[in-house]
Amino acid sequence: MSELQHDFSGLRAVYVNCTLKRSPEQSHTQGLVDVSASIMAKHGVEVEQVRLIDHDVATGVYLDMTEHGWDRDEWPLLFSRIVQADILVVAGPIWLGDNSSVTKQLIERLYAGSSMTNASGQYVYYGKVGGAIITGNEDGIKHCASNILYSLQHIGYAIPPGADAGWIGEAGPGPSYLDPGSGGPQNEFTQRNTTFMTWNLMHLAAMFKAAGGFPVGGNQRTEWDAGARFDYPEHPNPEYR
């Protein structure tokens, strides 16, 4: 079959790896991230990868935690790179059936910027696309992905079909994705889901790019604050219920 000919140049993607391992220690999550990122790069997407634990990111729900008692916080710099991207992929491992603490920290810090607005007066993440990659050697891919994808859509990201991919191997303790003999890199289910997720992220991001962002109408925070109600019914007079 012929190679798919698509040009997604002009799109930017950030993969945030929420492994608990500092570089250069091997991250199994990184192994699956690299598969997806290579597809994007092949088709012209500018790809950046961040291993969050390598950075001095404070805990909290404000954009700059140095204004709230922390001595250092690299999040403002990372946030500026993430918010300029068209695609965000949150990747991380499963621990005790749930997302890693670093994944939770990332979601909290993303939430800190969710009240900001873009040039159209919409929330700042509108017109951007989100996905999730999960790895581990215990059950929980769907649980972890649903938590991430719900959180991303809640703050404004658009979620395309099949926006999650992962690998966990057999239930119970066992080899992780990159371990010799794991079968992870050869697993067709994982290969298919990772590929579909990657393409769907690029397609939806390209649609938003071509349209100039998410459609404007009834969703502008700045207009709401100025008094617009976008056909929302008037509140009834409590004296005439």
Segment 160-179, tens digit of pLDDT: 999 999 988 776 667 787 78
- HSE of 178 in the Cβ direction (CA atoms, 13 Å)? 12
Backbone angles phi, psi at 129, to 5 degrees: -120, 140
- HSE of 78 in the Cβ direction (CA atoms, 13 Å)? 24
- HSE of 104 in the Cβ direction (CA atoms, 13 Å)? 8
pTM confidence score: 0.91
Instruction: Provide the token pair at 118.
Output: 């873009």
In total, the chain counts a number of residues equal to: 241
Q: What is the pLDDT of residue 1?
A: 46
Q: What is the pLDDT of residue 7?
A: 85
Separation of alpha carbons 26 and 203, rounded Å: 31
For the stretch 185-230, pLDDT in tens is 788 888 998 999 999 999 999 999 999 999 999 999 999 999 998 9
Could you say which residues of the chain have pLDDT below 50? 1, 240-241
Q: How many helices (H) and strands (E) does the chain have?
A: 6, 6
CA distances from 12 to 47, 57, 107, 224 (A): 6, 23, 20, 30
